[in-house]
Amino acid sequence: MRTSITIVLSLFVSMAVIAQDEARYEELIKTAFALYEQKDYKGSAETYSKAFEANGWKGYQGDRYNAACSWALAGMADSAFFQLNRIAEKMNYTNLGHISKDSDLNSLHTDKRWGEVIGLIKANKDRAEANYDKPLVALLDSIHNEDQGLRQQIGEVEAQYGRDSREMKELWREMARKDSMNLIVVERILNERGWLGPDVVGPTGSSTLFLVIQHANLATQEKYLPMMREAVTNGKAKGSHLALLEDRVLIRNGKRQLYGSQIGLHKETGEHYVSPLEDPDHVDERRASVGLGPLADYINRWKMKWDVETYKKELPALEERIKSARQ
């Protein structure tokens, strides 16, 4: 019995240490990226290394790629190639298009090791795409570029012409027109072949299926929500994408969202707010379970601060205001 208690205590301590390491890792990664944005590339690269060390020298693929960029910009090619080789050889990095065009890595192009890394990544890409439905991949990639290209114009058009301007209204009309056309294509794919995963249409193609449904009307979202849930269970769709669709359907039905992904805009004040949220105290736990970062980080892009106690106090008034606006 004493041995069992010791084992349980040891396990508890180990789990606590792992959680601390992961928290420290995330903190250092944020600092490293902030230093990159401040153009302190050497400081950024060194902080990425500290993050990997704090996490038992383990790191996510994207973080190692970013570390390589910082090392390259700091003029330290050896360290940059170490990270690039790590993600190419050990983590099956496949994004040949991105790395080939990334100006952060331009200083490495004249080094003979660059061709070797690119060769490894191309081989990874060829293996990953061996069973792709190439015509469908091309079609969905085109829809993705169209869908996101229009939405990336929102901030610029609003800043230049205003939220209620003629130019802004024209952009929204064009988005609605393209969304309806893209939905016809995606519905045909889903109805004929089901929810296709990255193994068939690639990561972008699989994400495109989600984006088009996410931008559809409520009836369409409710129709395909069960299919997407099954796709996540089968590894054909991302849990983080499903969380966003679940939230949108809940909010459109006048219910509280679960993951805090839906942000509202107060028309009178022009201020953004987190749409009604179920159990705000545990939202970050739910977000983490589907691969989403903390809510505070997410809403920061709208210049909002997350204070759970204040939010809970203001929630009844928020729900009443939304209810009155719908009447």
User: Cα angle at 245 between 172 and 176, to 5 degrees?
Assistant: 15
* pLDDT tens per residue, range 206-222: 999 999 999 999 999 99
* pLDDT tens per residue, range 288-302: 999 999 999 999 999
What architecture does CATH give domain 2-128?
A: Alpha Horseshoe (1.25)
Mean pLDDT, residues 23-40 = 94
Q: What is the pLDDT of residue 270?
A: 83
C-alpha 247/C-alpha 227 separation (Å) is 16
Q: What is the DSSP string of 3-70?
A: HHHHHHHHHHHHHHHHHHHHHHHHHHHHHHHHHHHTT-HHHHHHHHHHHHHHTTT---HHHHHHHHHH
Q: DSSP letter for 291, please.
A: T
Cα atoms found within 13 Å of the Cα of residue 28, Cβ hemisphere only: 23
- What share of the chain in percent tops pLDDT 70? 94
Label residue 13 by pLDDT band (50, 70, 90): very low
Q: What is the pLDDT of residue 22?
A: 83
- Model-level pTM greater than 0.85? no
Mean pLDDT, residues 235-246 = 97
Residues near 181 by Cβ (< 8 Å), separated by ≥ 6?
none
The answer to whether 258 and 244 have CB atoms below 8 angstroms apart is no
C-alpha 292/C-alpha 213 separation (Å) is 20
Q: What is the pLDDT of residue 42?
A: 98
Q: What is the pLDDT of residue 18?
A: 53
In the chain, where the domains are located = 2-128, 134-326
* pLDDT tens per residue, range 60-110: 999 999 999 999 999 999 999 999 999 999 999 999 999 999 999 999 999
Helix axis angle, 166-193 to 218-233, nearest 10°: 50
Give the CA distances from residue 253 to residues 86, 225, 276, 313, 324, in Å, rounded to whole numbers and listed in that order. Answer: 46, 14, 12, 23, 15
Q: What is the pLDDT of residue 4?
A: 53
